[in-house]
A and B are shown apart, each in its own frame.
Chain A
Amino acid sequence: MRKFILRRLAVSVVILFFVALIIYTIMRSMPSSFVENMAREKASLPGGKSYREWLEQLNESYGLDKGILGGFFHWLGQAIRGNFGDSWAFNVPVTQKFKTVIFDSFVLGAISFILQIIIAIPLGIKAAKKQYSKSDYAISVFALIGISLPSFFFATILKWIFSVKLGWFDLFGMIGRMHEQLSPFGKFLDRAHHMVLPVVTLTIVSIGSLMRYTRTNMLEVLNSDYIRTARAKGLAEKRVINYHAFRNTLIPIVTIIGGSLPALFGGAMITETLFQIEGIGYTAYQAMTTGDIPFSMFYIVFMAILTLLGNLIADILYAVVDPRVRVN
């Protein structure tokens, strides 16, 4: 097992290298860059240097005078030492900006992730147990609505109903107007209150696929011979479902959950933007549109690491839940 993990980690390093290289190349090849915009702005000020002069000067100070490969290896050399440089758009060190925005995203992601699991899996099991019944169709329709609704549309409807019509929640933001005057517990409640709509949006939108996945796998397991064996043993139906069937359904579900790791930390770009939450998704979006290479590179490498780690965790969990895959 240790050998397997080490080998996977070694492969991951190679993958990471190429992911970073490709992203860097794309960022550098974009038709308009952060530096060009800045030079244009500065050149339009009265009495300054020309655009061309500004461009040359800025290219040098931002390290863009080197070629793509040269620039990449310079970035890589620094990044390996833990120095990701300063964000161009936000004018602070990348890691510092990251620390201030990750928390809200993580809380948002974690809550909706947990809700997603505790809602979707029981629903999927229920739907499979009563295949083609009314409750199965009801659950499936609900799931399909969740899958099909774009988050911006769903969030807008939620806002319209609960904020505009009913006035239960603020339209956006993570804290209310009176936040600073509140007691610590009141502050917590205020934050929780602002979290409700984004969490509902994220949960409803993501519930569908996990529920459908659980249902399909559960159906497959329920039709298998060993479930018939369990029934023939005279076990109670509850035990057949919860012990024999669910255990075997877990095997494929684990991959989905492992694959959700990036989503947990990666932030939800659209939802965060709609609710104006200063999360990692919203920040990364801003960084990319302004051409902020250091922050974008950091974000994408971070996501790549999470994805690779998620896959590795899923593989390890596979061995935990499925005795057939245990590597000797």
Chain B
Amino acid sequence: MEDKAIRDQDSDDIILEVRNLKKYFPIKAGVFSKQKGEVKAVDDISFKIKRGSTMGLVGESGCGKSTTGRTILRLIEKTSGEVIFKGKDVYGLDKNELRELRTKMQIIFQDPYSSLSPRLPVGEIIGEAVKEHGLVPKDQYEEYLDNIMTSCGLQSFHKDRYPHEFSGGQRQRICIARSLAVNPEFIVCDEPVSALDVSIQAQIINLLKDLQKERNLTYLFISHDLSVVEHISDTVGVMYLGSLVEYGKTEDIFRNPLHPYTKALLSAVPIPNPDVRMNRIILEGSIPSPADPPKGCKFHTRCGHCMDICKKEVPMMKEVEKDHFVACHLYE
């Protein structure tokens, strides 16, 4: 009873909750496209994000970070689990309700080159959804568009230009302006800076931070760049092969990593000081196929601390310190 009361009290603050989310892609083969198996891209993930905060999601390529982001937004359909956004199940909505919800949940894609239609002028790209959803009265539309563009570091005369006339950083600004134009509360940033130059990366990250402060936005920040995630996130989740292995506050994760995989990841971050000897933990082998993940703990094939139990039993997520969760048999 008491437990439930606490949760309800909390839930005002929690904008997004993901419960046991799974996304399996079928593998089809043969003449009659029989299903031969499934790729477990997202395999039983749960987490919560507080309003106004940023959660970083890290992991190596192909571990299901982007699929997680897209399944939350229902850009691809889930296999099972729940996504609760502002107290409503995203997967319980019909087509029209979902379209409406799109204005509240947005996404910034990784590649600013391919995610903008080459046939539309920038003003149209940014403002189209505003018009479609009727968010602003017609006479204020131009002004609204100008405001959004300036706040993202674009000029209003850029409206009539086409995406190919812009640089990568400017294009990503267009993408950000596009997603902000519908006045969302929650944005999935799907590796928004990994296609950009390092010098531009900082600009875009700072822009995202400023906009967050201004508009009280909530981000799910997907990246494989740990230093970027450390800079922007309040909480961090570490993914390996479709599952969350560690989850906690950014300081806790970076100062005191618990899971062997997190330790290995962090040891790979370069330190800008040639005199410091880096103690890199080198992982053996390559990432196993998500179509046929190892039994027990998925990481046991590459883990330096592998025990017998790791090969048999899947470790459960446990709160080892306050607000610091880890799924590893070492801490049981």
Stretch at the interface among A45-53, A64-72, A309-317, A318-326: A318-326
Give the distance in Å from the alpha carbon of A322 to the alpha carbon of B102 in the complex: 29
B100 within 8 Å of A by Cβ?
A: yes
CB neighbours of B101 from chain A (8 A):
234
Give the distance in Å from the alpha carbon of A322 to the alpha carbon of B119 in the complex: 6
Give the distance in Å from the alpha carbon of A323 to the alpha carbon of B121 in the complex: 9
Which partner residue on chain A sits nearest B179 by CB separation? A232
Q: Are A132 and B117 in contact (CB under 8 A)?
A: no
Given contacts A225-B111, A228-B109, A239-B132, contact A233 B182 (CB under 8 A): yes
B295 within 8 Å of A by Cβ?
A: no
Give the distance in Å from the alpha carbon of A239 to the alpha carbon of B99 in the complex: 13
Which partner residue on chain B sits nearest A321 by CB separation? B119
Q: How many whole Å from B21's CB to the nearest CB in chain A?
A: 18
Q: Are B102 and A226 in contact (CB under 8 A)?
A: no
> How many chain B residues have a CB neighbour from A under 8 Å?
31
Given contacts A234-B99, A234-B182, contact A228 B129 (CB under 8 A): no
A57 within 8 Å of B by Cβ?
A: no
Q: Are A233 and B178 in contact (CB under 8 A)?
A: yes
Q: How many whole Å from B59's CB to the nearest CB in chain A?
A: 21
Given contacts A235-B128, A239-B132, A323-B164, contact A230 B117 (CB under 8 A): yes
A244 within 8 Å of B by Cβ?
A: yes
A229 within 8 Å of B by Cβ?
A: yes
Interface range on chain A: under 10, 10 to 19, 20 to 34, or 35 or more?
A: 20 to 34
Name B120-169 residues within 8 Å CB distance of A.
Answer: 120-121, 128-129, 132-133, 162, 164
- Which of A229, A235, A322, A323 counts the most chain B CB atoms within 10 A? A229
A236 within 8 Å of B by Cβ?
A: yes
Q: Which of A228, A236, A322 is B118 in contact with, Cβ under 8 Å?
A: A322
Q: How many whole Å from B225's CB to the nearest CB in chain A?
A: 20
B199 within 8 Å of A by Cβ?
A: no
B16 within 8 Å of A by Cβ?
A: no
Which partner residue on chain B sits nearest A246 by CB separation? B119
A191-235 vs B, CB cutoff 8 Å, 1 = contact: the mask equals 000000000000000000000000000000000111011111111
Q: How many whole Å from B70's CB to the nearest CB in chain A?
A: 8
Given contacts A235-B129, A321-B119, contact A225 B114 (CB under 8 A): yes
Q: Are A323 and B119 in contact (CB under 8 A)?
A: yes
A70-107 vs B, CB cutoff 8 Å, 1 = contact: the mask equals 00000000000000000000000000000000000000
Q: Which of B99, B115, B129, B164 is A226 in contact with, Cβ under 8 Å?
A: B115
Q: Are B162 and A225 in contact (CB under 8 A)?
A: no
Q: Which of A234, A239, A244 is B117 in contact with, Cβ under 8 Å?
A: A244
B73 within 8 Å of A by Cβ?
A: yes
Give the distance in Å from the alpha carbon of A225 to the alpha carbon of B132 in the complex: 20
Q: Are B107 and A232 in contact (CB under 8 A)?
A: yes
Given contacts A225-B111, A229-B117, 10 further A-B contacts (CB under 8 A): A226-B118, A229-B109, A229-B115, A234-B100, A247-B120, A322-B119, A323-B119, A323-B162, A324-B118, A324-B164
Q: List residues of A whose CB falls within 8 A of some B CB.
A: 132, 224-226, 228-236, 239, 244, 247-248, 251, 321-324
Mind listing 5 A-B residue pairs with CB under 8 Å? A224-B114, A228-B109, A229-B175, A232-B75, A251-B119
